[in-house]
Structure 1
Amino acid sequence: MKILLPPSEGKTAPDSFGDNRLDLGSLIFPDLCEARTEVMDSLAEVSAGEDAQSVLKVGAKAMAEVGANTQLSSSPAAESWQIYTGVLYEALGASSLSEAELARAAEDVLIFSGLFGVTGFADKIPVYRCSMDVKLPGLGNLGIYWKKQLAEPMDRMVGDQLVVDCRSGSYQKTWPGPAEQVLQVNNFTEKDGQRKVVTHFAKHARGELTGLLLRQPRPAETIDEVAEVAAQRWTVEIRPAEGRKPHQLDLVSK
């Protein structure tokens, strides 16, 4: 089983006195070094420009992270799960995973990124700001750029395994995966018979489900096994794949 996650806008900078720095060759799929270097160089150029805020589609409060984009190679780095600290990652609770569970996460969890394409759970990265829907000079839309780059290495790594997809839309498009192997995770809140999607709660549910799956005595290998784990926490419904649309796992909160 592979679990696919989005990054988070919220990030925590590692200790500035640490020795770890970004090493592109140490990241998952080292054959993407050239592509990652192209994105880093273009991102650094944009981030140093006067129009950085508009090009990168960020608010004024995010400009400190935009500034960090200009010194990615020299900035302190830490494992991806320690850098990302948004709602999904708080719900996942990686800091409370055992060593064995962290090792499983390092093997089975992939985090998609506008800057790196995809990284492993334990890959060491610096703080940055770059979403997948940004357009960079010379590269264009990053979602389209990474879709071309990731097709072959992702197909090779996933093989015939089940994929639990906890990503949001722009990240899903970079590697949709075979519909018959992908289980897309959704969350709905239900009140008075009416269901709606609340982004905050959806992120939290996907993180919580990821944490539950990583804490199982053995990895889930089938859709029914994932649904059984999810049923510990939510009302669960499964919608089978149709054409190019993958299987859907609906987590219903009341």
Structure 2
Amino acid sequence: MIGVLILLPPSEGKAAHGAGPAVDPAALAFPQLAKTRKALLTELARVSKGRAATALTVLGLSPNQAGELEANRDLTTAPTLAAADRYTGVLYDNLDLPGLRADDPEAYARAEARILTFSGLWGVVRPGDAIPAYRLSGGVTLPKAGPVAKVWRQALTPALAPAVASGLVVDLRSSTYAAMWRVPADAADRAVTVRVLHERLVDGVPKRSVVSHFNKAAKGRLARALLVGDVAATTPKELAEALQDLGFRTETTAPAKPGTAWTIDVVVDSVV
């Protein structure tokens, strides 16, 4: 059976090293996105080479993040690293793609086929795609290109249509990256948006909230479980059942209106 397609956000944190050749935008997943990638890469490098204070403002960075500009200035020549190794942080630490590659090659092969990481600079990449370190949030508005999310909505809508023509889509993206591309209405009954809710007792009453650390950690563990377990659910209800079998506490909500995705809430406590 076909496994689920897993949509991930990138991470702000990225490994700084690399030994691969300079990035080739057309060699990444979905080569039809190369023109858009090159345009954004060129403008990002130009902005980052300009006045530092202006570049930091454009990119939504603080003065103590000025070092991030250095990577952007050398994008066309910088050494590359597989996306599986480039992206770091809580979600990717819990997903641990390098660990899968070393210890469970079959699960890593599934990751290559089933994971799409959304990126403000590259649009989407697969784990094996070789990319340099960079900093460009999907929420940024560049002086020439305009809102990055809008640029990618226009490019990704036709490019991703074949990828979501069949099978279940599990969306683990943050709102910033969900704005770059939305599941088409005709595929919405096969799409699930996963939310992670942190539950704790307040004066003996359960209270739920979204807490960044727990959200990212649980999503990383969930994506890993789907790959290791070779989950091949074909409906949102089957996915919820599979996640429960894998030890996750879930609550499923049907779409509020036609053409929108299902929602699965994963409820976690302080132990993740």
- Taking structure 2 as the reference length, the TM-score comes to 0.88
Residue 11 (structure 1) aligns with:
14
Asked if 2 retains the 8 angstrom alpha-carbon contact of 1:112 and 1:119, the reply is yes
Residue 152 (structure 2) aligns with:
146
Deviations, residues 21-70 of structure 1 (Å, cap 9, x unaligned): 21112101111111111000110111112111111001233322221111
Residues 1:234 and 2:235 are matched in the alignment: no
176-185 or 201-210: which moved more? 176-185
Moved over 4 A (4+): none
Asked if 1 retains the 8 angstrom alpha-carbon contact of 2:81 and 2:132, the reply is yes
Deviation at 1:20, TM superposition (A): 2.9
Residues 1:188 and 2:197 are matched in the alignment: yes
- Pick one of 204, 223, 234 that aligns with 1:210: 223
Q: Which residue identity is paired with 1:139?
A: A
Shift in alpha-carbon separation, 1:39–1:193, aligned structure 2, 3 A: same
* Number of residue pairs matched by the alignment: 252
Unaligned runs of 5+ in 1: none
Unaligned runs of 5+ in 2: none
25-34 or 123-132: which moved more? 25-34
Shift in alpha-carbon separation, 1:14–1:225, aligned structure 2, 3 A: farther
Deviations, residues 206-247 of structure 1 (Å, cap 9, x unaligned): 111000001014533332332233223332101012224310
Q: Which residue identity is paired with 1:252?
A: V
Per the alignment, in what secondary structure is the counterpart of residue 40 of structure 2? helix
Residues 1:248 and 2:263 are matched in the alignment: yes
Distance 2:22 2:71 in 1: 13
Asked if 2 retains the 8 angstrom alpha-carbon contact of 1:65 and 1:127, the reply is no
95-104 or 111-120: which moved more? 95-104
Listed as ranges, the matches of 1:95-244 within 5 Å are 95-97=98-100, 98-178=104-184, 179-191=188-200, 192-231=205-244, 232-243=246-257, 244=259
Deviations, residues 104-129 of structure 1 (Å, cap 9, x unaligned): 11111000000011111211111000
The share of aligned pairs that are identical, in percent, is 36
Shift in alpha-carbon separation, 1:28–1:236, aligned structure 2, 3 A: same
Distance 1:92 1:135 in 2: 30
84-93 or 235-244: which moved more? 235-244
Distance 2:76 2:146 in 1: 23
Shift in alpha-carbon separation, 1:217–1:113, aligned structure 2, 3 A: closer
Q: Which residue identity is paired with 1:241?
A: P
Distance 1:85 1:214 in 2: 18
- Taking structure 1 as the reference length, the TM-score comes to 0.94
Asked if 2 retains the 8 angstrom alpha-carbon contact of 1:213 and 1:220, the reply is no
Per the alignment, in what secondary structure is the counterpart of residue 149 of structure 2? helix
Distance 1:25 1:173 in 2: 24
219-228 or 3-12: which moved more? 219-228
Per the alignment, in what secondary structure is the counterpart of residue 180 of structure 1? helix
Asked if 1 retains the 8 angstrom alpha-carbon contact of 2:198 and 2:211, the reply is yes
